[in-house]
């Protein structure tokens, strides 16, 4: 088995089999475990029987399915937003926004912004907090419209970005803040509702949230949340009308799975808290409250845990020549004994390598 690349024949859940050897799996982005949830898979089979494998037409065509609007109403209500729009991926959601703002405003990109949101504009090198200070200075001394792109969560170094500063945004400067909540939606906030409710801003600042639905929610699709008026602008974009939507069978399964998401979120929180209580080693693991990923600067932890039959996330970033980013990722499929075994292995590493 290669130490760098692992080729699988099936998607892992709480465990993984590699060349006949079982490992507990603490990686990936299926935070709520939907990719291997048997009840969700049954709901998906119902959706496939009703809608088929895919719908490749345009949402603007004369043949339409109510499930799209039903899913968007549910997602917006879940997040606390006024309106929502689904698309085929989180990346498409990002590209739609970049194209929408092209040539209409000055674009500013926070550190770590996902490539889906890249465009011609101002890229900042430094911390998120330093970027916020820079943005407030820019807003105070200019007049034209600004568009600010940022992540809700740094998924690699496992840090949560704060947005209270929007409340002090200069009142005379029109702006739109676009927050990528792909690694927070379904996980962070009350019941996993994401970052939307944190984006309190004055009337001159429009809030937009985008997210992949392929992570916590477990379906191939993307989401845009904002005001109804703003969503209508995107609805009329040729980039939206010319793209195929998310597969309706998956949206059907998502709607039917609303109680399942709630119970999975509670299970995930229990797993996180159990792991934190048993390890109690902030010097080794970095995270924030009730989040399922844990970053460590100790790259040697990954091979150590592998010897203990625990596979965690480790890859070089941002280029293959850079140092590896090492993380432990919990999900809702893990059982108490999985969490306890992992915690004991982490503590054994700390005792031996970090006395």
Q: Compute the C-alpha angle 112/13/258, nearest 5°.
A: 80
Q: Where in the chain is the domain with CATH 3.90.1150.10?
A: 15-37+259-353
Q: Would you state the pLDDT for residue 4?
A: 61
- What's the start-to-end Cα distance of the chain, in Å? 31
Residue 19 has pLDDT above 90, yes or no: no
Sign for the pseudo-dihedral over CA of 280, 184, 149, 312: positive
Q: Which two tokens stand for residue 3?
A: 């130490």
Residue 64 has pLDDT above 90, yes or no: no
User: Topology of 15-37+259-353 in CATH?
Assistant: 3.90.1150
- What confidence tens digit (pLDDT) does each residue in 244-256 have? 899 999 999 999 9
Asked whether 29 and 22 are in contact (CB, 8 A), the reply is no
Q: Where in the chain is the domain with CATH 3.40.640.10?
A: 55-246
The DSSP call for residue 286 is B
Of the chain, the percentage scoring pLDDT greater than 90 comes to 83
Q: Which two tokens stand for residue 129?
A: 């907090």
| Mean pLDDT, rounded, for 261-286 | 95
Q: Which two tokens stand for residue 200?
A: 């309190």
Q: Would you state the pLDDT for residue 1?
A: 36
- What confidence tens digit (pLDDT) does each residue in 101-121 have? 999 999 999 999 999 999 999
Write the CATH number of the domain with boundaries 55-246.
3.40.640.10
Burial class of residue 2, CB neighbours in 10 A (0-12, 13-18, 19+): exposed
Q: Please state, in angstroms and rounded to a whole number, the distance separating the CA atoms of residues 146 and 313.
A: 36
- What confidence tens digit (pLDDT) does each residue in 129-147 have? 999 999 999 999 988 999 9
Measured in whole angstroms, the distance separating CA 310 from the mean position of its chain's CA atoms is 24
Q: Please state, in angstroms and rounded to a whole number, the distance separating the CA atoms of residues 252 and 48.
A: 9
Residue of 255 and 355 predicted with greater confidence: 255
Place of tokens 């997210």: 211
Residue 6 has pLDDT above 80, yes or no: no
Residue 3 has pLDDT above 60, yes or no: no
Q: Please state, in angstroms and rounded to a whole number, the distance separating the CA atoms of residues 27 and 46.
A: 29
Place of tokens 């006949």: 20
Band of residue 2 on the pLDDT scale cut at 50, 70, 90 = very low
Band of residue 7 on the pLDDT scale cut at 50, 70, 90 = confident
Q: Would you state the pLDDT for residue 157?
A: 93
**pTM exceeds 0.85 for this model:** yes
Residue 10 has pLDDT above 80, yes or no: no
Burial class of residue 221, CB neighbours in 10 A (0-12, 13-18, 19+): buried
Beta bridge partners of 84: 225
| Mean pLDDT, rounded, for 309-316 | 93
């Amino acid at each position: 088995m290669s130490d760098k690349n692992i080729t699988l024949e099936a998607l892992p859940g709480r465990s993984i089999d590699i060349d006949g050897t079982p490992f507990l799996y603490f990686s990936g982005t299926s935070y709520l475990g939907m990719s291997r949830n048997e009840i969700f898979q049954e709901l998906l089979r119902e959706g496939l029987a009703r809608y088929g494998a895919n719908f490749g037409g345009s949402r603007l065509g004369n043949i339409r399915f109510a499930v799209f609007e039903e899913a968007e109403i549910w997602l917006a209500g879940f997040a606390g937003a006024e309106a929502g729009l689904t698309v085929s991926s989180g990346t498409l959601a990002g590209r739609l926004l970049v194209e929408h703002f092209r040539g209409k405003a000055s674009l500013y990109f926070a550190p770590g912004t996902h490539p889906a949101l890249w465009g011609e504009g101002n890229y900042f090198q430094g911390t998120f907090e330093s970027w916020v200070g820079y943005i407030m200075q820019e807003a105070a001394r200019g007049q034209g419209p600004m568009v600010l792109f940022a992540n809700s969560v740094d998924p690699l170094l496992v840090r949560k970005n704060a947005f209270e500063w929007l409340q002090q945004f200069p009142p005379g400067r029109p702006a739109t803040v676009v927050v990528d909540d792909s690694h927070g939606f379904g996980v962070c906030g009350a019941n996993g509702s994401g970052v939307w409710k944190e984006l309190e801003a004055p009337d001159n600042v429009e809030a937009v949230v985008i997210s992949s639905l392929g992570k916590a929610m477990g379906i191939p699709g993307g989401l845009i949340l904002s005001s109804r008026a703003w969503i209508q602008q995107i609805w009329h974009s040729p980039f939206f009308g010319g793209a195929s939507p998310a597969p309706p069978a998956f949206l059907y399964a998502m709607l039917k799975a609303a109680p399942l998401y709630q119970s999975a979120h509670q299970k995930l929180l229990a797993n996180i808290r159990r792991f934190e209580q048993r390890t109690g080693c902030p010097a080794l693991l970095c995270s924030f409250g009730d989040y399922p990923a844990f970053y460590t600067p100790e790259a040697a932890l990954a091979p150590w845990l592998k010897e203990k039959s625990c596979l965690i996330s480790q890859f070089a970033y941002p280029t293959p020549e850079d140092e590896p980013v090492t993380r432990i990722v919990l999900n809702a499929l893990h059982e108490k004994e999985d969490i306890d075994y992992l915690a004991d292995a982490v503590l054994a590493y700390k005792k031996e390598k970090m006395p």
